[in-house]
A = this chain, B = another copy of it.
């Protein structure tokens, strides 16, 4: 199963959660074999644990086998610092238990990789997390006897993008992994989602690594256990949406809205109502693309949003990775 199949669907979401929703809609709402998911809510934060258990589930939603954890916080764009701290704390707790679940121990040495282009604001999430995260590996290398208990060796790099370095980011990371021998890679990347609502309000954690074609930057090579020889945990936040996806989702929302109002959607939407997701998206793209309408877009306030969410992830990682960093006050350890 690969991203190619997903691209056939033309749905263009990097979130497993959305891919499952789409598959369920197409299937009339019935559960998808091979996909197990569980959702719980905590004071404005919705957490979903989703497992792609077998090849059938993978085919159905176009995502590789593995564990996906999603935090959805619709209010996260409101610049509420109290909420941000709470999300960082939640992130830390869930990330910590996610690490345990997928077998990454308390002392495993971590390399944090910030993927993306620091010159393109919606793609700068990874590099921004790297700038803000606490690195400790140098102390373990230079004076191992003097490191206080409760810390582990953490290093962090932002490998840049092909157009700036001339080198695939996966090659750079692979070289660094071979030299520095971490036990696990945590890769942060900006994603595309299907829905504007989820942009900068959702964080996905997955144990599947980074696959070619995912994220904003159209990678040609991945960062996976197969390639690097060590587990790769991926953290992603959708920061962009295709204009065509916005249109398509909106038509869907309008159909739902009218149906809820007892309208006859065949009457209201005509044949549009009978097209399936793919056909309609195909039509939208045919119309938008040739005249430059089908751009990847991002909210106007992206500068602030991306900084806020990078701080949340950096704070959360600090607390999750070091027992000595208190999950109750994670923000104090970042810039």
Contacts and interface: CB of A to CB of B under 8 A. Distances in A.
A300 interface: yes
A190 B230 CA distance: 36
Secondary structure call for the A interface: helix
A111 to B, nearest CB: 8
A212 to B, nearest CB: 13
B165 A196 contact: no
Interface string A151-184: 0011111111011111100011011111110000
Bin the interface of chain A by size.
Answer: 35 or more
A299 interface: yes
B253 A287 contact: yes
Contacts of A156: 164-166
A77 B297 CA distance: 14
Nearest to A294: B196
Nearest to A123: B300
Nearest to A266: B270
Contact of A270 (B175, B247, B270, B303): B270
A284 to B, nearest CB: 6
A137 interface: yes
A271 B291 CA distance: 26
Interface string A97-134: 00000000000000000000001111100000011000
Contacts of A160: 157-158
B195 A166 contact: no
Given A216-B300, A241-B297, 12 more contacts: A120-B304, A130-B165, A135-B166, A155-B165, A157-B165, A172-B179, A243-B250, A247-B247, A251-B251, A253-B288, A254-B287, A270-B273
A301 B166 contact: no
Q: Which 7 A-B pairs have the closest CB atoms?
A: A175-B175, A270-B270, A137-B166, A135-B166, A155-B166, A175-B179, A297-B297
A242 B268 CA distance: 24
A298 interface: yes
A167 B176 contact: yes
A6 interface: no
A71 to B, nearest CB: 16
Given A155-B165, A172-B179, A250-B293, A304 B272 contact: no
